[in-house]
Structure 1
């Protein structure tokens, strides 16, 4: 049976969370959309992800930002048929409102990440660029940002 690219991406994310980064698996993220330009994923608000104020815990928000920025880079590297070393070197975050429902994380930096991958392939060097992830609660606040994350994505092609 053939599964859709979105279903395969979610299977890959679940396996990665289970085997490599259990905190990702604990938060149960789900990819809603992914293409060459963007990724959009959701972390549900529930017992695992909420804080004492019944909003999404800071740590769960950080996991969502990490997955949104990192998964897009991993998927693009896979499309190029290369393996990459991926890390985040810095993070800044602005918290605008308390996210009191499921949170959608969106990264629209696909073109920037594509350029980073091309550069690391060409130079063999590590490439660092900031990527932006916006967290929203569409069910309560539409497209109004709950938080904005700037993460410095660091990529290097590995053999």
Structure 2
């Protein structure tokens, strides 16, 4: 009987890691990610974002520069940049939600951006605040109250020049 309990505990401990790998695998596999985007968020799918990295600490989303997201000034529409920035933080939120056994509701509460250089090439958006997201989920689970977490995303062109700094505040609550 003890061995059976140990196996159950090991499986229960592995479930969160497995769920996180499933979410990360689905979002980083281009055909799967595009199918989900077309079904659930067609405007975002239209600009063809690509999740390059998604793990417990980091999410990186690349967005190509092309006719679908270029404005009359020859730069990327700010709306396309904002969608990619929100997707970057949303990837971390989805990942950390998947690894938790509880159910949560979450929504973007506030967003602000500072566009510092024009984007005329592929832009890579990165958020490295996975630890803060995990703490917010833990706090929401413990308190039962809504927890707000501000996440910062940095967008860089292919040449490494920073194009945007976006702050996205997520509101997370255990259901």
TM-score, scaled relative to structure 1: 0.86
Once residues 125 and 79 of structure 2 are traced to their aligned partners in structure 1, the CA distance between those partners, rounded to angstroms, is: 14
Gapped regions of structure 2 (runs ≥ 5): 1-20
The answer to whether 1:129 aligns with 2:149 is yes
Once residues 62 and 27 of structure 2 are traced to their aligned partners in structure 1, the CA distance between those partners, rounded to angstroms, is: 13
Runs (4+) of structure 1 exceeding 6 A deviation are none
Structure 1 residues 81 and 24: alpha-carbon distance in aligned structure 2, compared to 1, 3 A threshold: farther
Over the aligned positions, Cα root-mean-square deviation in angstroms equals: 1.8
SS of 1:56's equivalent in the other structure is coil
Gapped regions of structure 1 (runs ≥ 5): none
Once residues 35 and 69 of structure 1 are traced to their aligned partners in structure 2, the CA distance between those partners, rounded to angstroms, is: 12
Q: Partner residue of 1:56?
A: 76
TM-score, scaled relative to structure 2: 0.79
After superposition, give the CA deviation of every residue in 1:49-68 in whole Å (9 maximum; x if it has no partner): 11112211011011011100
**Higher helix fraction (1 or 2):** 2
* Number of residue-to-residue matches in the alignment: 152
Q: Partner residue of 2:92?
A: 72
**Among 40, 49, 53, which residue is 1:20 paired with?**
40
Deviation at 1:45, TM superposition (A): 0.8
Once residues 21 and 156 of structure 1 are traced to their aligned partners in structure 2, the CA distance between those partners, rounded to angstroms, is: 23
The answer to whether 1:116 aligns with 2:133 is no
Aligned partners of 1:132 and 1:150 also within 8 Å: yes
Bigger shift: residues 100-109 or 86-95: 86-95
Once residues 119 and 143 of structure 2 are traced to their aligned partners in structure 1, the CA distance between those partners, rounded to angstroms, is: 41
- How is 1:78-117 mapped onto 2 (pairs within 5 angstroms)? 78-117=98-137
Aligned partners of 1:70 and 1:86 also within 8 Å: no
Deviation at 1:7, TM superposition (A): 4.1
Aligned partners of 2:154 and 2:166 also within 8 Å: yes
